[in-house]
């Protein structure tokens, strides 16, 4: 759980509509190839959705990053780590991002450990009022974390070739 407020279904749809045209926001959907049925009971060709990773550009070179693995059975299996690494790779190579920050609920010990111990983010600020910690990572820290990925190929998705459920 990052430090975001729950939204109603209508608010989620409204937010999704803005993301399609907003160049300051980027979302990757996290799929699990072992999960073949999605929440609406349809077969999932590439695996079922288990979460998402989001990027919000706050300046030309700085972005907020957040991760959510919604499926409890998929937590603790490094899906979040892999998704964060892929998003950071995309942001540094395609968008020119050189600094990341994450706001994490103080109650979310697993997420704090992921950002601090595993990825090397450092504490920049703690908010007692919001009960959250802001962590930051420079490009040097991110490059070191990205060494875990190995080779990555980025391919463009053609809207004309949408996968049908």
- pTM greater than 0.75 (yes/no): yes
Whether 161 is covered by a domain: the verdict is no
Partnered with residue 136 across adjacent β-strands are 101, 122
Mean pLDDT of 6-20: 68
Whether 164 is covered by a domain: the verdict is no
pLDDT tens, position by position, 59-115? 999 999 999 998 888 888 899 999 999 999 999 999 999 999 999 999 999 999 999
Whether 18 is covered by a domain: the verdict is yes
Burial class (CB in 10 A: 0-12, 13-18, 19+), 26: buried
Output the pLDDT for position 5.
61
Question: Between residues 20 and 31, which one has the greater pLDDT?
Answer: 31
Whether 119 is covered by a domain: the verdict is yes
On average, the pLDDT of the chain sits at 82
Question: Between residues 150 and 131, which one has the greater pLDDT?
Answer: 131
Q: Taking Cα atoms as reference points, which of 64, 151, 56 lies closest to residue 100? A: 64
Whether 156 is covered by a domain: the verdict is no
Whether 104 is covered by a domain: the verdict is yes
pLDDT tens, position by position, 29-64? 888 877 554 454 444 455 678 889 999 999 999 999
Whether 24 is covered by a domain: the verdict is yes
Whichever domain contains 22, its CATH number is 3.40.630.30
Output the pLDDT for position 43.
43
Give the number of domains in the chain. 1
Output the pLDDT for position 157.
62
Q: Taking Cα atoms as reference points, which of 120, 118, 116 lies closest to residue 138? A: 120
Proportion of the chain above pLDDT 90, given as a percent: 48
pLDDT tens, position by position, 132-164? 999 999 999 999 998 888 777 666 666 555 544
Output the pLDDT for position 7.
61
Whether 153 is covered by a domain: the verdict is no
Structure tokens at 17: 């509509």
Asked if 98 and 88 touch (Cβ cutoff 8 Å), the reply is no
Output the pLDDT for position 164.
47
Question: Between residues 18 and 108, which one has the greater pLDDT?
Answer: 108
Domain with 14, as residue range(s), is 9-148
Q: Taking Cα atoms as reference points, which of 131, 136, 72 lies closest to residue 98? A: 136
């Amino acid at each position: 759980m990052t430090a975001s407020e729950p939204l109603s279904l209508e608010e989620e749809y409204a937010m999704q509509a803005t993301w399609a045209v907003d160049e300051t926001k980027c979302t990757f959907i996290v799929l699990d190839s072992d999960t073949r049925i999605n929440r609406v009971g349809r077969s999932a060709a590439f695996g079922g959705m288990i979460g998402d990773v989001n990027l919000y550009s706050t300046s030309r070179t700085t972005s907020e990053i957040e991760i959510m693995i919604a499926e409890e059975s998929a937590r603790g299996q490094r899906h979040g780590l892999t998704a964060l690494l892929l998003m950071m790779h995309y942001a540094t190579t395609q968008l020119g991002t050189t600094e990341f920050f994450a706001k994490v609920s103080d109650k979310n010990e697993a997420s704090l450990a992921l950002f601090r111990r595993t990825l090397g983010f450092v504490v920049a600020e703690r908010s007692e009022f919001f009960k959250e910690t802001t962590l930051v990572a420079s490009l040097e820290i991110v490059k070191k974390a990205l060494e875990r990925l190995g080779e990555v190929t980025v391919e463009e998705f053609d809207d004309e070739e949408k996968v049908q459920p």
